[in-house]
Amino acid sequence: MRTQAVLFDIDGTLIESGGASDRAWHRAFSELHGIDVRISKVTGKGVPDPAVGRQAFEAVIGREPSDEEMAKLMARRLKYLPDEVASSQGYKVLPGVEETLDRMIDDGYLLGVTTGNVEAAAHIKLARANLNRYFSFGGYGSDSPDRTELTKRALERGGVVFGSGLDRSRCFSVGDTPRDIEAGHGAGIRVTGVATGKYTAEQLREAGADAAVESLREKLPLLGAA
């Protein structure tokens, strides 16, 4: 059957920000709390932004943040993220991304994102490479701290764009971590793993991916006929 929609993770799947996100978090913590925090040492890959902020706060300050403290932290991190993304020497679009997205748009597939980034951060990261133009819907860390739930939200939004709701058996997601696989399966869709992050294709298959590719230079194996 023809695929209706494909959801893409962002970091490690479409782009690498070259540490821009971590640097923005670092500046926010430094300015608000006078603390030097290294995000990669206190949280993992694929964790939604609100959970990243809370985990980092608890790790370096030793208690849970108040709602007001979290709001200030998230706002300050977003204040610095555009500059960090724009100036990041390590920012790059990953292999095959633009060619794959161009081809899928030409073939009429509906494309969305499913990401732990809050919505504003997702668009900031994609904007440097002009990738926002490919995606008409999405699920974000600002929808839920749970990757499965935000993926479900993406599918609901995709159904609105599609017009009659999406058949989840005709949708799949693409991601580079086991969290992406767990989230997609939890939302009732299949998942293609892409080995452009820290995990190999074999590790992603072992984590339960329905298919896996080395990069988006390869044809997506779960893609139904155009």
Taking the chain (226 residues) in runs of 10, the rounded mean pLDDT of each run is 96 96 94 88 81 90 93 96 97 98 96 96 98 98 95 97 94 97 98 96 98 97 80
Give the integer Cα–Cα distance in Å for 79 and 193: 32
Q: Give the domains, in start order, of the chain with CATH numbers.
A: 5-17+91-213 (3.40.50.1000), 20-87 (1.10.150.240)
SS3 139: strand
- CA–CA distance, 35 with 43 (Å, rounded to integer): 16
Token output for 180: 């992406």
Q: Biggest alpha carbon distance in the chain?
A: 55
How big is the chain by its Cα radius of gyration, in Å? 17
pLDDT, tens only, 100-150: 999 999 999 999 999 999 999 999 999 999 999 999 999 999 999 899 999
Cα distances from 187 to residues 41, 130, 148, 197, 209, in angstroms, run 29, 28, 6, 22, 14
pLDDT the model gives residue 37 = 85
Give the pLDDT score at 226.
57
